[in-house]
Amino acid sequence: MPARLPLPILRIRSMHRLRPPNPPSRLFTQNTSSAHLQRPQLAFLSPSHKSSSRYLTTETKRWLKTEIKNGLKYTVYVYTFVGLTLVIIFGLQQEWCERKWPTPEEWTWVSRKDLRSVMWDMSRADDPKNLVDWANIGESFRWLLLRLENPKKDGKDLETTMEGGILVEGVGKTGYDINKKSEPWRRGYYTILMGAARAAEQLDGWVRDKTRNVAFPKEMIIGPSNPIPRPTPPGAKTAPKEEDCEQAFENPAVYYMRILTTRGFSAGQRVEAALTYANWLDYKETPRAAEEMYKWALDIALQDAPEGILDRKTGVLDVAKGLPSRNVLTSVTAMAVHYAANENLSTALPMLLSVLRARKSLHDAPVVLQALEEEKGPFKYVVDVLKPLFVPRPYPDALSDGTEVPLRTPTERCEEAGVMGYIGEILYVSKNSKSGQQEGLAWTREVVDIAEEELRRRRIGDEHKKKCKECMEVGLGNWSKMVKKLAKEEQAAKKNKPGKGWLSFGGVDQPVLKGRWETELQVVKERARRAEDVLEKSGCEVVGDIP
């Protein structure tokens, strides 16, 4: 029987047997370059792969919420500031436009805003450098007319002259009865009609592409009626086809006749519309139709004039029967200019002379002494500057209707100088003799003197200044052209008359010296240079030396 080992030894041996056998080598703990001996890379043990949820910790979530909240808050602040700034700019612009082109207070806000906007666009047409979208202006006036003639908007108490209105061939519907409307409403309505008529004149001969709603001149149409179309400007849309086109805007006669057939307009407004329409007919080279329209204007002007003040056959005013009104003077002058433009000088000259005689017979305006202005302190000056920004400006008072006899004010003296300019042109052209030309030249010189004297006056109105500038520009231009023609004739006469040398030896021609008219041409040039300080920009043609 074998001897039994002690208990501790058995325990050690049993424990030694339970230990797993050691492998020959621990390959996964060794660094080797063999691919099959590399250490296994387990996803959950790899330090380079982390769960994305570790970024969205409590602190990270709190930071993201704060940043998003601040971003939205500052975005709202910026957009609110920009929006309020734009509202302030728009309000200031509308206030400036309202002061320049007042609108009736009884109109709705949309109509007032639209009228101010279209007047702003149309005012840019005074500068030839600006490109004005007359098609858009015409549509704006048409839209305003629809609002004013709509009883649900601004056309309350608007009545037609007859049941359903009167339709005239080629003109359309005649005017309304606006006697129940206030004077500011009627004045604004008249402004819109005249603006629409002016837009119609600018859009005469234009067509509208129905497929794109774009207006083009008629010369750009592609079709059989226009075999050689004019190219469109660079950057503009392509030319339309003839079958897709229609008339862009109504004829100007539609709006002028609307004014003349509307009940409620003043005599001055109707005379102005008739004369403007007659001028348009002269431009379209229809003198007979223009003459009839001039006569219509004269009939309106004579309704409140003294009996027998005008000779209907000759068109001459008789001051002995009474003094004419402003409407009569304007209408007779316009008709005389029409006759002169159509080579009927024998009728035009007596008419203009009678108008000049009537203007010189007007009573002088009373002299108003102006009190000296008190010196303003800084506080009062600031109040006077800021007060118009917060106090609404009242609608201006109605202008004269032209039925009263005018006074001989500085403005009327400028009108008088304009009549003298017409007389000078007629005398220069109608009389071929030297005396007739010199007489016309003398009238023209006096026109320039009167206009310059009025322009150098202090504290004259803008309208008066504008009229005098036009008169002086035209006078300087006519003066220079007249003298240039006489100077050329004088110089040609000297060249055709050869002279002899000193003591008539050798037959040497004498140098041609400057004569009277060449010297006066230099005077005209110097006069125009002297007038530059009163003429901001001169549109007259002042000729220099004779070549």
Q: How many residues does the structure list for the chain?
A: 547
Residue 416 located in a structural domain: yes
pLDDT at 542: 46
Virtual torsion, Cα 307, 312, 318, 322, nearest 10 deg: 20
pLDDT at 379: 74
Name the nearest CA neighbour of 198 among 100, 104, 312, 121: 121
484 or 125, which is more confident: 484
Contact 114, 188 (CB under 8 A): no
- Note down the domain range covering 448: 409-496+507-533
Report the sign of the C-alpha dihedral through residues 497, 503, 509, 510, in that order. negative
Residue 329 located in a structural domain: no
Euclidean distance between CA atoms 110 and 150, whole angstroms: 14
Calculate mean pLDDT across residues 344-369: 87
Least confident window among 37-51, 62-76, 177-191, 419-433:
37-51
What radius of gyration do the chain's Cα atoms show? 44
Our count of domains for the chain comes to 1
431 confidence band (pLDDT: 50, 70, 90): low
Report residue 288 CA to chain centroid gap: 31
Calculate mean pLDDT across residues 26-30: 48
Residue 277 located in a structural domain: no
pLDDT at 164: 44
Euclidean distance between CA atoms 76 and 57, whole angstroms: 29
> Is pLDDT at 55 greater than 80 in this prediction?
no
Q: Which residues of 321-335 are buried (b: 16+ CB within 10 A; e: fewer)?
A: ebbbbbbbbbbbbbb
Residue 492 located in a structural domain: yes
Euclidean distance between CA atoms 286 and 463, whole angstroms: 31
> Is pLDDT at 10 greater than 50 in this prediction?
no
pLDDT at 163: 45
DSSP secondary structure letters along 228-282: SPPPPPTTSPPPPBGGGEEESS--HHHHHHHHHT-BT--HHHHHHHHHHHHHHHH
Question: Which H or E element spans position 289?
Answer: helix 287-301
Tokens describing residue 515: 């004569």
Residue 456 located in a structural domain: yes
Residue 385 located in a structural domain: no
Residue 260 located in a structural domain: no
Could you identify the residue written with the tokens 């436009």?
Answer: 97
Calculate mean pLDDT across residues 495-506: 54
Euclidean distance between CA atoms 475 and 452, whole angstroms: 10
535 or 162, which is more confident: 535
List pLDDT tens digits, range 107-121: 999 999 999 999 999
Virtual torsion, Cα 142, 148, 153, 155, nearest 10 deg: -150
Residue 170 located in a structural domain: no
Could you tell me what percent of the chain has a pLDDT over 70?
Answer: 77
Calculate mean pLDDT across residues 250-269: 93
294 confidence band (pLDDT: 50, 70, 90): very high
Contact 175, 259 (CB under 8 A): yes
Name the nearest CA neighbour of 187 among 396, 469, 9: 396
Could you identify the residue written with the tokens 């501790």?
Answer: 8
List pLDDT tens digits, range 392-424: 778 888 888 889 999 888 888 888 989 999 999
In this prediction the pTM is 0.79
Calculate mean pLDDT across residues 296-317: 91
